[in-house]
A = this chain, B = another copy of it.
């Protein structure tokens, strides 16, 4: 007897690999992915193409603050590839460790293998703690460490995510060596278009919205659609559309779920207002923070207002 899914029902998840990356750490947070096939790819475009073309059921991609790069690419891909939907959000702290072969000590470290972006983010610690070190570039935050073990690297140590220790027999030489102790990367799990998971009270809705024209008031009119329904935004970013000078799309994360009355109403308003609204999904927030909103924007108030309007039109005397 086993809890393993049978072959027939095995699902495939694409992620920026190899095993040990921050993206894999994000995927490891997905309970329903356990025991299924994890397919390592080389960039965001491959991951999303796997989903669109049916090779994978879902892809984990970095969408904000990534140290693996590719965030603009991911946002632009979601804006232009139809048929995708975000179904979950995951946060991974951007913490780096310095690891060596078993038995290595910190004072033996002279040559350090590291992905160049990770290297740049640990420069303060390296300058203070190992001022005489040299750097040898690695293709990823995992390849840096794997090279120590498979004989392809001359390095004495490697910079990697903490998860590397779960996959390989390595010694921890130092932890939390990144310059920014609070950095967190936000990941989203992307599937083909499906019905959103049910509301949890702690949800987020992701959208991409184009403005009807380039006048300053259009942005305000768009944001009014949220404000007049008591909806807070946790992400708002303009991105040039690229087809003509001065046209922008807006990447938006709004607090709440499409099945919340106020969010549904805001989406109707956006749809009527905007030449293009892409609904990327409603899904539980990674931080599980319950969405707070003024009582006057609760579902009850929307239902009551519709009843009232029906009464007006039918000619019933008001209560």
- Distance in angstroms between the alpha carbons of A194 and B223 in the assembled complex: 35
- Distance in angstroms between the alpha carbons of A306 and B121 in the assembled complex: 40
Copies, count: 4
- Distance in angstroms between the alpha carbons of A45 and B258 in the assembled complex: 41
Interface residues as binary, A254-296 with B (CB distance below 8 Å gives 1, 0 otherwise): 0000110000110111011100000100000001010000001
Q: Does A119 contact B (CB under 8 A)?
A: yes
List 30 interface pairs A-B (beta carbons < 8 Å), by A numbering.
Answer: A46-B123, A65-B72, A67-B69, A69-B69, A115-B137, A116-B116, A137-B138, A193-B316, A193-B317, A195-B313, A195-B314, A196-B313, A212-B296, A214-B232, A216-B231, A217-B217, A219-B236, A220-B223, A220-B227, A224-B228, A228-B228, A232-B246, A236-B250, A237-B237, A245-B287, A258-B312, A258-B313, A264-B309, A271-B308, A272-B305
> Is there an interface contact between B224 and A309, defined as CB atoms closer than 8 Å?
no
Main secondary structure of the interface of A (DSSP, over half): mixed
Closest to A138 in B: B137
Residues of B within 8 A of A219 (CB): 223, 227, 233, 236
- Distance in angstroms between the alpha carbons of A196 and B309 in the assembled complex: 12
- Beyond contacts A224-B224, A271-B309: 16 other A-B pairs, Cβ-Cβ < 8 A, are A65-B72, A116-B116, A192-B317, A194-B315, A196-B313, A216-B230, A220-B223, A225-B228, A235-B238, A245-B287, A258-B309, A267-B312, A271-B305, A272-B302, A273-B296, A279-B312
Chain A residues engaging chain B, CB cutoff 8 angstroms:
42-43, 45-46, 65, 67, 69-70, 72-73, 82-83, 85, 115-117, 119-121, 123-124, 135-140, 143, 179-180, 182, 192-196, 212, 214-217, 219-221, 223-228, 230-238, 242, 245-246, 248, 250, 258-259, 264-265, 267-269, 271-273, 279, 287, 289, 296-297, 301-302, 304-306, 308-309, 312-318
